[in-house]
A = this chain, B = another copy of it.
Amino acid sequence: MSKPKVVLAYSGGLDTSVAIKWLEEQGYAVVACCLDVGEGKDLEFVQQKALKVGAVQSYVIDAKEEFANEYALMALQAHALYEGKYPLVSALSRPLIAKKLVEVAEKEGAVAVAHGCTGKGNDQVRFEVSINALNPDLQVLAPVREWSWSREEEIEYAKKHGIPIPIDLDSPFSIDQNLWGRSNECGVLEDPWAAPPEEAYELTASLETTPDVPDIIEIGFEEGVPVTLNGKHYSLAQLILELNILAGKHGVGRIDHVENRLVGIKSREVYECPGAMTLIKAHKELEDLTLVKEVAHFKPIIEKKISEIIYEGLWFSPLKDALSAFLKETQKYVTGIVRVKLFKGHAIIEGRKSPYSLYDEKLATYTSDDAFDHSAAVGFIKLWGLPTKVQSIVNNKKVTV
């Protein structure tokens, strides 16, 4: 009888390489699965390495466009920043990876899927809740969390089983990357009083080394989707990757965040999101021009909830679908062009225009073209302030009597 199969989210690093062997020892045939969500790795190498270490099969899946259009786009349109700061880099890719693992597992007839997360991060929650939502019959394994070895014990195990030790193993950092950005934690970053060292960054130039001449770019949006860069059409993934280079060169998008993890602790993280931060800023400015006031004032409530449920691993939940329906409806008129000056770490919005602009110079002007009915204000103020006035009359009288 053949061994039961497990599909493992494989990154090519030490943890998941050791996991292949460890899962094998538990009696599984391991199917490795590596996703390309824009992290720019040598995926051929990763694919081969899995087989070398012992996987019975090794998938590499290019999911960049799916990631851009189905995941990053929602974060963009929701201006999703967890706790006002973190653009949800890893939180966005986890549900997509989970989805692909489940698809491969169903195709391969696997009984389980496995991930390489430890027990104190957010990603374990995102993986497991997503997998349960997509196929509650699949078992979920978390070898790294289960074996709970020290670093030394893990290396010893790897050596014993002929698993190659990566040369950057003593890197002080723990990195995750996709086209929406790059996250970095651990090591010296664990002291929130210390500034992050330059080597913690990779996608963005330091302010000290950015060019002294700005780049002025124009981003074109159609119904909330960025579709052109300087007039040229791009697929969404390509546009984001292009912007990562352009804005990264000018040092845009460094974030240093002491955040509240879902599992109850605070951690200090460093993010780089040059493309994401430029797009979020540009998109918000276009909304400022095209969204009617009531929508502009309520959408942030939706945005906050979207940010939270994505961070908290609830991507595949009915609440996300409902929030998404709201969001989509608001994007109908978010069409236009935003001019951005990339310079010294800034993505400065210099101009915005739209065929659906609700900014009306005739109403806004103080010149003789003025079309605003100034006398209407008198009645407006009277009724706007009426509750306050009545309560002042009533309660001030009472207090003094």
**Residues of A participating in the B interface, judged by any CB pair closer than 8 Å:** 83-84, 118-120, 124-125, 128-129, 132-134, 136, 145, 148, 150-151, 174, 185-186, 190-195, 207, 256-260, 262-268, 284-285, 288-289, 291-302, 304-305, 308-309, 312-314, 316-319, 321-330, 332-333, 339, 341, 343-346, 348-353, 355-361, 363-366, 368, 370, 372-396, 398
Contact = CB atoms under 8 A, between A and B. Distances in A.
B319 A295 contact: yes
Contacts of A292: 317-319, 387-388, 390-391
One complex includes copies of this chain to the number of 4
B266 A318 contact: no
Contacts of A295: 317-319, 322
21 contacts: A83-B297, A118-B366, A119-B377, A133-B388, A192-B352, A192-B357, A258-B285, A263-B383, A264-B384, A265-B386, A265-B387, A267-B364, A268-B359, A291-B318, A292-B390, A292-B391, A322-B329, A358-B394, A377-B379, A377-B383, A380-B382
A144 B373 CA distance: 14
Most chain B CB within 10 A, of A174, A194, A260, A349, is at A260
Given A136-B389, A318-B330, 6 more contacts: A190-B364, A266-B359, A268-B364, A326-B326, A333-B395, A376-B382
Most chain B CB within 10 A, of A125, A351, A358, A370, is at A358
A183 to B, nearest CB: 14
Contacts of A185: 366
B388 A352 contact: no
